Structure 1
């Protein structure tokens, strides 16, 4: 057999690309939302109003992980009750006077503003198609006239939501785009869905100082390794040393909430009387099927000078 010096090399067929996530924009106007579904079935839905995550399904799309009130407004008429609302630039009722946020409504304007969908991308390590990142933006120019008047600072927010097979990552990037410094607070008001609140325990808060809003905003130190809920709970845990807060149900791990550059966590459940007093909380016994684990920077204020950037967020792992 003659060996030819210039014989053609073997052709290497390119590997078939894995199918990517399906991303769609559904609806119009204030009800428009972005949906993403992985090839394996997991999905997320994000309302452009407030950039509020209203659904996150894991386990091949069979398990809903977020509680959404049956009476939640998803038409842009008010903040969404449930899912993951974005709280910025103030948490709770603003200071009564003397602060730049004093003229703002409770929880600020991010959750009641129309965000811009900036597009999708795949994570570098997700060549199997089992991850997709959705980016949303909110800028000074996108605010209502009332919001701009109440908080006259130039800023930019980019909110990144990454859906993976067993987790959801939500990260905020805050940039000061003006000449003047500003202060802000930030929180992700996550409503996690559970089967039975009486069987839920929250771990990872032992020894942490908290403000109990149910007990006249008095300060306490958590003495229980597992926090259980048998009545209204509204606590702000601050300067938590470890990154992970875990939710167990019936003794079994259900969620891990992993904070990134955020030191505080609110634990909230309205219980019977409060749920009855909240007009858009339905069903009224829905408090049995949810617990809020809300990561944020709410103990004091974050300050950004001209051109500075703050970034923080969470990864929620569904452990079913």
Structure 2
């Protein structure tokens, strides 16, 4: 049901939420970066990542005149998308303030990752238990997560705060675990629209909520401020490993090499 026509963002994949996550600010929902055509960056500055045995592409986004009208700041957003031989996917974002007027700017950010799951009612998320979260379904009120893992029985839209660098999504039926590792992104958003909201979205199948889950590496609670010339970096790595893995147990790289 996804709509592949600009200027609408394409439903699914990993939309980039910048310079605003959700409606936490004056811009359109999730900002404008996910609605733009990016260019291939033919001359990126060196990325401090080991790219041997990996395929990667460098993309760049700069503001258009229209972007400057709604968010009057000059920036360079560089994104390296890297695919490893074991199937792990890494996204590294580098955002630089290139304002010439000496003004800093502030933004929030998320990798709005959609995961394919067999049955949402059979899925559990580990690594976020006992943490505080803001509940978008209750006016962003703050609560503390109870229980030893997150499971799903109804609509969920939560921003978990001060989260660990590693989160696991255990899919019992597929005997598969997704491992999210992140750096520079202290928050994690968990979202599933459930049945009523799914039916209300034109680009989302009525029953597709059963087979998807968004767990998003994010920086929302404490917006990032960059002075001119300063750069921020946020990284996310995704791996799919056999279901014996849970968040505190094994190094996913070892599991991948042993599988």
When normalised by structure 1's length, the TM-score is 0.70
Matches within 5 A, 1:138-149: 138-140=61-63, 143=64, 145-149=65-69
Report the counterpart of residue 78 of structure 1 in structure 2. 8
Contact 2:7 2:36 in 1 (8 A): no
Report the counterpart of residue 304 of structure 1 in structure 2. 226
Tell me by how many angstroms 1:93 deviates: 1.3
CA offset digits 1:118-170 (Å, max 9, x no partner): 2599x75634xxx2111110012xx2x33211111111000111011231001
Aligned residues: 235
Match of 2:91 among 160, 170, 175: 170
In the alignment, the residues of structure 2 paired with residue 238 and residue 304 of structure 1 have an alpha-carbon distance, to the nearest angstrom, of 21
Q: Which runs of 4+ in 1 moved over 6 A?
A: none
Q: Pick 1 or 2: higher relative contact order, CA cutoff 8 A, min separation 6.
A: 2
In the alignment, the residues of structure 2 paired with residue 191 and residue 119 of structure 1 have an alpha-carbon distance, to the nearest angstrom, of 29
In the alignment, the residues of structure 2 paired with residue 223 and residue 170 of structure 1 have an alpha-carbon distance, to the nearest angstrom, of 31
Report the counterpart of residue 126 of structure 1 in structure 2. 52
Distance 1:319 1:119, change over 3 A: farther
1:136 and 2:56 correspond: no
Residue segments in structure 1 that go unaligned for 5+ positions in a row: 1-70, 96-101
Tell me by how many angstroms 1:212 deviates: 1.2
1:113 and 2:57 correspond: no
The 3-state SS of whatever aligns with 2:31 is coil
1:295 and 2:225 correspond: no
Please provide the CA RMSD for this pair: 1.9
Q: For the pair shown, which has the larger CA radius of gyration, 1 or 2?
A: 1
The 3-state SS of whatever aligns with 2:110 is strand
In the alignment, the residues of structure 2 paired with residue 77 and residue 87 of structure 1 have an alpha-carbon distance, to the nearest angstrom, of 15
Contact 1:120 1:133 in 2 (8 A): no
Tell me by how many angstroms 1:77 deviates: 3.6
Report the counterpart of residue 43 of structure 1 in structure 2. none
Distance 1:125 1:294, change over 3 A: closer
Tell me by how many angstroms 1:295 deviates: 0.6
In the alignment, the residues of structure 2 paired with residue 150 and residue 138 of structure 1 have an alpha-carbon distance, to the nearest angstrom, of 16
Residue segments in structure 2 that go unaligned for 5+ positions in a row: 243-259
In the alignment, the residues of structure 1 paired with residue 74 and residue 66 of structure 2 have an alpha-carbon distance, to the nearest angstrom, of 15
Matches within 5 A, 1:146-165: 146-164=66-84, 165=86
Tell me by how many angstroms 1:217 deviates: 2.2
In the alignment, the residues of structure 2 paired with residue 216 and residue 153 of structure 1 have an alpha-carbon distance, to the nearest angstrom, of 29
Tell me by how many angstroms 1:94 deviates: 4.2
Contact 1:94 1:105 in 2 (8 A): no
In the alignment, the residues of structure 2 paired with residue 298 and residue 91 of structure 1 have an alpha-carbon distance, to the nearest angstrom, of 7
Contact 1:264 1:296 in 2 (8 A): yes
Report the counterpart of residue 180 of structure 2 in structure 1. 257
The 3-state SS of whatever aligns with 1:291 is strand
